[in-house]
Amino acid sequence: MRAVRGREIGLVLQDPLSALNPLLKVGEQISEVLRCHFKLSKKEAKRKSFKLMKKVQLDDVERIYNAYPHELSGGLRQRILIAIALAAQPTLLIADEPTTALDTTIQKQILELLKKLQKEFQLSIFLITHDLGVVSEIADRVYVMNTGEIVESARTRELFKNPQHPYTKALLDAMPKIEPSLHPNAVVGDEAVT
């Protein structure tokens, strides 16, 4: 299974605090994947870990490498999980609610990071989420599931414009709508809404 887990498929879980080993420094957890899959020395694994940490937009990598999970913020921990998931150079990244526990600003940064990494590493990303806003931002194709069954599948833009299944329609109807009249100074395109 090791040839598949990590090597073919990387996994980013919803809660990085419970996904990371609390007894190991986060850098050791990245290095462990590299050493396991590529038979690297400790020194080489640490060097590659630093590179991966920079790829996921972490600064002060020496300090973070030597930190325990509980010493880092949720956004930093999530970036560590992404680095771990990418360490073995998978072709598929499964991201299970990767932004749920994060505030809106960090959520946006993580989504932008995933899009950037997808292009850079030529990854397929399988994003599991209940957040249709996130789906509309990042997904190329959507599979809507209800009680464990796929009830609809379409390109993202088409699904949002023309949902077919009653469950999909109900989900989209339940999305909060921002009324322009509530935001008199909001800008839509190049025009101010008044």
Phi, psi of 147, rounded to the nearest 5 degrees? 50, 45
* Domain extent listing, the chain: 142-194
> pTM of the full predicted structure?
0.84
Per residue in 32-84, pLDDT tens? 999 999 999 999 999 999 999 999 999 999 999 999 999 999 999 999 999 99
Pairing assessment for the beta strands 191-192 and 187-188 based on DSSP bridges? antiparallel
Q: Cβ of 63: how many Cβ atoms within 10 Å?
A: 12
